[in-house]
Amino acid sequence: GDSVTQMEGPVTLSEEAFLTINCTYTATGYPSLFWYVQYPGEGLQLLLKATKADDKGSNKGFEATYRKETTSFHLEKGSVQVSDSAVYFCALTTGGGNKLTFGTGTQLKVEL
Amino acid sequence: DTAVSQTPKYLVTQMGNDKSIKCEQNLGHDTMYWYKQDSKKFLKIMFSYNNKELIINETVPNRFSPKSPDKAHLNLHINSLELGDSAVYFCASSQGARVNEQFFGPGTRLTVL
């Protein structure tokens, strides 16, 4: 079945540091890939998405590129802020449905 | 405000009780979902309804019964609650049952004692 693997957290960074959160996937067919973010005490929000190979999703300074050859969708940001502290989830959907398969989430803590 | 809302936000109950969680969306979406997030933050889909019809039904105990009275509402009823049901339950909605952004509610934290 489909699965998503994320690096384990927590990831602790200083403000303005470079962020990478690794995500790899296993899927039948050609999945669409997503990053969702969950701020403390809130529901998930879509951060960015990519629906086909080599697409780059971007939002709020975050980027991720759909790499079919390495089955990866790593999240990056050049300069993190304290307000980016949250849990980040990589996810995918395949086929005709809209069933999201999530990774285990990676907690990011950004300190001054 | 346009959003996905859930009630209650917190639910504390005894083992063996029956409880319901309500979800409403005013985004005009036709597809709604229930997800369960465990204590380690792992999220797993439970159910999905499209135009009031069940389209996703994962391996969930039949003590869990979703009900969709109309496209804007998807309620979750849980019978004979067990300790392992303690989790945060998220409702979500999207337009269409294909690949579209899902909008999540704030969650309901269920604690079974």
Please write the tens of the pLDDT for every residue from A53-110.
999 999 999 999 999 999 999 999 999 999 999 999 999 988 656 788 899 999 999 9
Q: Inspect the interface and report whether the beta carbons of A105 and B101 lie closer than 8 Å.
A: no
Q: Is B9 helix (H, G, I), strand (E, B) or coil?
A: coil
Residues of A with CB under 8 A from a CB of B: 32, 38, 41-46, 49, 51, 87, 89, 93, 96-102, 104-105, 107
pLDDT beyond 70 at B97: no
Q: Inspect the interface and report whether the beta carbons of B96 and A98 lie closer than 8 Å.
A: yes
Cα(B82)–Cα(B110) distance, integer angstroms: 11
Q: CA of B99: which chain A residue's CA is closest?
A: A98
Cα(A56)–Cα(A75) distance, integer angstroms: 10
pLDDT > 70 fraction of chain B, expressed in percent and rounded: 95
pLDDT beyond 80 at B3: yes
* CB < 8 Å to B106, chain A: 41-43
Q: What is the pLDDT of residue A1?
A: 83
Under 8 Å CB pairs connecting chains A and B tally to 59
Q: Is A83 helix (H, G, I), strand (E, B) or coil?
A: helix
* Burial group, residue B33, by CB count within 10 angstroms (0-12, 13-18, 19+): buried
pLDDT band at B67 (very low <50, low <70, confident <90, very high): very high
Q: Which residues contact B97 (CB under 8 A, 6 or more apart)?
A: A96, A97, A98, B30, B31, B48, B50, B55
Terminal alpha carbon distance of chain B:
34
Q: Is A84 helix (H, G, I), strand (E, B) or coil?
A: helix
Q: CA of A103: which chain B residue's CA is closest?
A: B42
A contact test, residue of B24, B35, B43 with most A CBs within 10 A: B43
Q: Inspect the interface and report whether the beta carbons of A46 and B105 lie closer than 8 Å.
A: no
Q: What is the pLDDT of residue A64?
A: 98
pLDDT beyond 70 at B50: yes
pLDDT band at B2 (very low <50, low <70, confident <90, very high): low
Cα(A103)–Cα(A82) distance, integer angstroms: 23
Section B10-34 average pLDDT: 95
